[in-house]
């Protein structure tokens, strides 16, 4: 609820100028729905406009996802996948996976989403350069190639630059590109996208080769260090914090403001080796919504500690 009123641009009805936040914890997603948009929905329209929210149009697929999805809305099926794990039989054979076993490490996540999210998180740890920056000669890195234009993900509505990450392996002398749109879907567990004509399926074998990773039948081995990312970043309602652990152990996940004050504890306890995820809704420990600005998420594991800058916008 906000302190103020908003008027529907069509019928003149007056309502609170605020919004409701619909949270789907299984998806790690929250949708801010202005009351004027709810008013339009009640009258059968996904387009909405008021004197505060001039353009409050909604994607039907995003509303359906936040209301109904059970945690794998971005997991898109692929042809030629006998065991239904998100990898084609040919891809599994090339990677050394068993095309008849959908979950080799028995962690409850099919091999395809497991591998996609792990590779996404690994890319997040690489040095990201802009043109003119000095290039490393002894490690994999990527260039940010930004374009003038964006696409909205048709599943979650996140706005994504039309550019790509140009990944180089200077030791092997090979490279590949991953579009930001593909990278977004990989972070949610899919090597395919909802815009296959614009963003075709990722060449997994080539990406693994450029990243110089050893992939086994159970996926990428647990890292020997802490891997940490958050998406989206910047974010509005909430952001999904994910990290990969080298081994099972006690961890703490905390959020601090730019002045170094702790605003909330997201988790403290044991976490398994491999990938874990948490959702931060942009609120402090008392449930109060925090102002827009820069925040830092810190993950501690034994003697390891890593921080990530997060930008909250409205």
Per-residue pLDDT, 213: 83
CATH of the domain at 241: 2.60.40.4070
Report yes or no on 83 lying in a domain. Answer: no
Domain residue limits at 274: 227-312
Q: pLDDT tens across 191-246, in order?
A: 999 999 999 999 999 999 999 887 765 455 445 555 667 777 778 778 888 877 77
191 and 270 co-located in one domain: no
Looking at 155, 181, 211, which one is the last position of a domain?
211
Is residue 94 located within the same domain as residue 203? Answer: yes
Same-domain pairing of 26 and 108: no
Residues 234 and 168 in one domain: no
- pLDDT score at 220: 52
Co-location of 203 and 129 in the same domain: yes
Considering its fold, how many domains does the chain have in total? 3
Same domain, 153 and 264: no
Would you state the pLDDT for residue 43? 94
* Gyration radius (Cα) of the chain, Å: 21
Residue 305 lies in a domain: yes
Residues 261 and 204 in one domain: no
Q: Are residues 128 and 104 in the same domain?
A: yes
- Give the mean pLDDT per block of 10 residues along the chain (314 residues): 82 91 82 91 93 88 89 90 92 88 80 89 85 88 91 89 94 95 93 94 94 67 59 80 78 87 90 80 89 87 76 79
* Domain membership flag for residue 245: yes
């Amino acid at each position: 609820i906000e302190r103020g009123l908003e008027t529907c641009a069509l019928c003149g009805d007056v309502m609170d100028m605020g919004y409701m936040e619909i949270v789907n914890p299984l998806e790690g997603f929250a949708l801010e729905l202005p009351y004027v948009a709810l008013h339009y929905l009640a009258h059968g329209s996904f387009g909405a406009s008021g004197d505060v929210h001039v353009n409050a149009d909604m994607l039907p697929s995003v509303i359906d996802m936040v209301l109904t999805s059970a945690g794998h809305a971005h997991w898109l099926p692929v042809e030629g996948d006998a065991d239904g794990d998100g990898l084609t039989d040919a891809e599994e054979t090339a990677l050394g996976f068993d095309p008849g076993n959908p979950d080799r490490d028995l962690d409850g996540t099919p091999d395809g989403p497991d591998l996609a999210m792990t590779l996404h998180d690994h890319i997040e740890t690489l040095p990201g350069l802009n043109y003119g920056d000095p290039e490393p000669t002894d490690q994999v890195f990527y260039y940010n190639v930004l374009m003038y234009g964006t696409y909205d993900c048709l599943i979650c509505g996140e706005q994504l630059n039309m550019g790509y990450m140009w990944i180089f392996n200077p030791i092997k002398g090979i490279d590949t590109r991953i579009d930001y749109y593909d990278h977004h879907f990989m972070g949610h567990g899919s090597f395919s996208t909802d815009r296959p004509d614009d963003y075709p399926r990722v060449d997994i074998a080539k990406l693994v080769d450029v990243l110089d990773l050893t992939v086994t039948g159970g996926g990428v081995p647990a890292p020997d260090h802490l891997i940490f990312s958050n998406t989206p970043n910047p974010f509005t309602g909430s952001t999904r914090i994910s990290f990969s652990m080298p081994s099972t152990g006690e961890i703490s996940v905390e959020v601090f403001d730019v002045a170094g004050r702790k605003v909330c504890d997201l988790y403290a306890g044991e976490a398994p080796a491999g990938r874990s995820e948490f959702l931060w809704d942009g609120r402090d420990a008392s449930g109060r919504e925090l102002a827009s600005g820069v925040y830092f998420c810190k993950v501690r594991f034994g003697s390891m500690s890593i921080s990530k800058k997060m930008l909250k916008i409205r």
